[in-house]
Amino acid sequence: MDQILGNMIEMWVDRMDNITQPERRKLSALALLSLLLYMPSDYSCLLPLVCWIS
């Protein structure tokens, strides 16, 4: 489960550069953040993967 979630988040973050419209980029970042907020604390090691999104 950890590996699947890690791969999903890594792919999501890698593809953020492909989103050119600022509104859609912000929406994608908010969606990712909402997923991260509801993750169990066991997955907190994945947070550094997305710390650069602003």
pTM for the full predicted model: 0.61
For the chain, what are the domain ranges? 2-50
Three-point CA angle 20, 26, 28, nearest 5°: 85
Task: Find the farthest-apart pair of alpha carbons in the chain and give their distance in angstroms, rounded.
Answer: 33
**Is residue 36 very low, low, confident or very high in pLDDT (cuts 50, 70, 90)?**
confident
User: How high is the mean pLDDT of the chain?
Assistant: 77
% of the chain with per-residue pLDDT over 70: 67
3-state secondary structure of 37: helix
**Around 2, how many Cα atoms within 13 Å sit in the side-chain half-sphere?**
8
Write down the pLDDT at residue 27: 92
